[in-house]
Structure 1
Amino acid sequence: MEHSGIGRLGNKHLILLILLTAIYSCKKDVEAPIVTTDTVVVEAPKDLYEFGFNLNDYVVKRDTIQSGDTFGKILERNNITYPQIYQISEKAKDSFDIAKLQLGKPYTLLCSNDSLQNPKCFIYQPNKEEYVVIDFQDSIKAYTSRKPIKYVEKEISGVITSNISEAMAKRGASVILAYKMSDVYAWTIDFSRLQVNDKFKVIYTEKYIDDSIYAGISNIKAAYFEHNKEPFYAFEYQTDSVLGLTEYFSDEAKNLRRAFLKAPVKFKGISSRFNLNRRIALYGNRVRPHKGTDFRASLNTPILATANGTVIESRKRGGNGNYVKIKHNATYTTQYLHMSKRKAKVGQFVKQGEIIGYVGMTGNTSGPHVCYRFWKNGQQVDPFKQKLPEAKPISDSLKTKFLEFIKPLKVQLDNIKLPLETIEKDTINTLFKDNKLITQVNKNGITNG
């Protein structure tokens, strides 16, 4: 009987063959390439909207107005021809005066998303909130709009150790909030004579543009100030929805304001008071009455309407320079002279504290100031010697609504905790001299000047 080939190899050879086969098989397994398939996902860019446009559709060029820039020069630099510029300017002039581009203000060009990058739209931002669009990609149109504003409510509290600005700064708040607080309590508390351990709590609103860009303080909703251990509450309340008038009232519904502000500007000093017997050496020591009060202030400081009223004059004339005149009622009229620029227009209703112009040197003046003139029953008088009326009290019909409105705000104020900064009286030696606070160094090393 004939044996098979395997049988003839013998046991030893058979074992060797099996081992070689196994080794070869393992080697193949080790060296076999691992094939993987990667899936690449290409995401489309997310839409990015600003000024009402999807910026992904354009090449976006941003810059600021430089010295010598005009609307025409900016477009010319970006390959727009003069005939096109003229056509765009003519169409846009009824909506926006292109000659009013201000130095340093930002602008944006939206250009075609190709190699030519031809401008399709010009956007100018006169301030953080407003923007002017001149769109010429299809038909030419121009309009003014506002960026979306987010309002965020904030709370702050503090203890006076020196002044209100320093106390605010310690708590990380803007000095603007201190100014707004002093305006709220202008007729109630003298902020130049605050006492150590005076305390405050404020509920206020901040503005943010596009959810992230800080745009300042919108308003103070409610405040509490403890001055000389006496509490003063203040609550903002709208008294006229048609005119948008708001006032600040106490927790007992008493108006905190007077009909007139003490001054029309944040001033450095009074250079000349109302004086009907003033004599000037330059004019031979003759009597030349001064029927106004001159408030010294830096150039272009905002000038404020001292009371609600209607603008009856806004012009430039002779020694008065640029001025605005406001009729408040049948009894009182005010005038503001020497402005660098007028903002209020004839016929416009202005609210107390609203900006009507800016401090300048127009007309007969040797330095920047505003000459504030005050009429009572048609006669110019010294406003500092008048018993000025209180602001209009809240109406009986609104009083009940007001008291209900402030209930949750008062609870919120009362629940705001004060910082642990109260200075104990037995740790400081406080002296008062000429109505100025002087604090000496005590044994604990606490000072306050």
Structure 2
Amino acid sequence: MPDREFFDPEAETLPRERLLARQEARILELVPYVFERSAFYRELWSAHGVHPREVRSLEDFRRRIPTITKDMVRAYRDRTGDPFGGLLCTDVSELTSVSSSSGTTGRPTFFAEQWDQCPPLPAAMLRDLWGLGLRPGDRVLSQPGTIRNLLDYVFHALGTTVVCVESGPGQMAGVVEAARRYRPAFLQLTYAQVVELTRLADRLDLREAFSSLKAAAFAGAPMSRRMREMVRQDWGIELFEYTSAADTGMAWECDRHDGFHLWEDTVFAECLDPQGLDEVPEGELGELVATDLDNPTAPLIRYRSDDLVRLGRKPCDCGRTHGRMWLRGRCGDETLVGGVPVMLRDIGLAVEDQPECAGGVFQMVRPQRELSALTVRVGYETAGAGAPPPDLAERLRTAIHARTGVTPVLELRTEHELLAGSSGVGKLTRVVRS
């Protein structure tokens, strides 16, 4: 088994026609199931004149079942007092756990779960972690945290040994020492931790300390181009990014680093016009809309993620046949400044091009989508007395204007100040209201 290329070879290389057949069969089971059990879907579908008997194919599902948003579920929760937003399809007494999202948008989403040996979302990671090279007997540095449940379950299921280490703000030197002592094969990194490690790199040999790693995972705020190169080239860490599959699970890079793999036997993914219901052509930019196929407890059905992605369904060079997505940003990332559209990604590229801001730590102050002036908070790496170089503000204004066509109002902060004030756990909140 350790020499096997895939954790679940049959499922991971399933031909597309069989994947589609599985998806259709599961959806035709799911629609009457949730109509009978979920108050939210029964109310919504009835208001749209939809009954399960009218859904007899994937095409019927796409045409008849309305899409939903996080705000719709929250509105139902606020109106009825139901903490699960009307999605729950089982009795509360049957739940094993309730986990939450990271709350990057300011309001965490809670997920009801039923499981035996391993929570559903971590269980789906077994294929990905195996693909990264983890094998029974490896050591894993595990950091305390319970976003979408405790990940130690999946490490145990793989037969790895979990080494717990504190990794909060200011504690990454201890993580480096633990890596040197216990020689792990894997660890998880967050944006704030990588920024802290860059400050330790001058006095600690990070390449030597992390030389035992087969892989490290990263998720959260997008990592700057320079930071990614530093982690891979200077520190010698093979970095694998992952992201949310519209709250139905996670999507990981494989060793080809060409898109995030969607496990299509667990999620039915669509790519729709962000302003409507039309499916965009394959490979073009659209909003990821997802349906839970492996969650009988509180499934999300035709859930609009607000993620702008390109979807592709050609087999990956790694041999897996499931679809992949390439993340572009969020539907709400575009801001109109005096009528000029500005994207967060373009601001980030301008910021990270400055040596003092290579970590790409910044925030846009946006009380509403349309603004008369663009205010950007930028974090810089402190040195000496801690003051920014006198010409940094002008360089940033010039660079941001070159990429966006807008000259910003700048607020310079230290990286530590911006990261410490972020509301997202392990993430940097990119858009703040004030």
Q: TM-score, normalised by structure 1?
A: 0.25
The structure with the greater share of residues assigned to strand is 1
- Higher relative CO (Cα under 8 Å, sequence separation at least 6) belongs to 2
Q: TM-score, normalised by structure 2?
A: 0.25
Higher Rg = 1
Higher helix share: 2
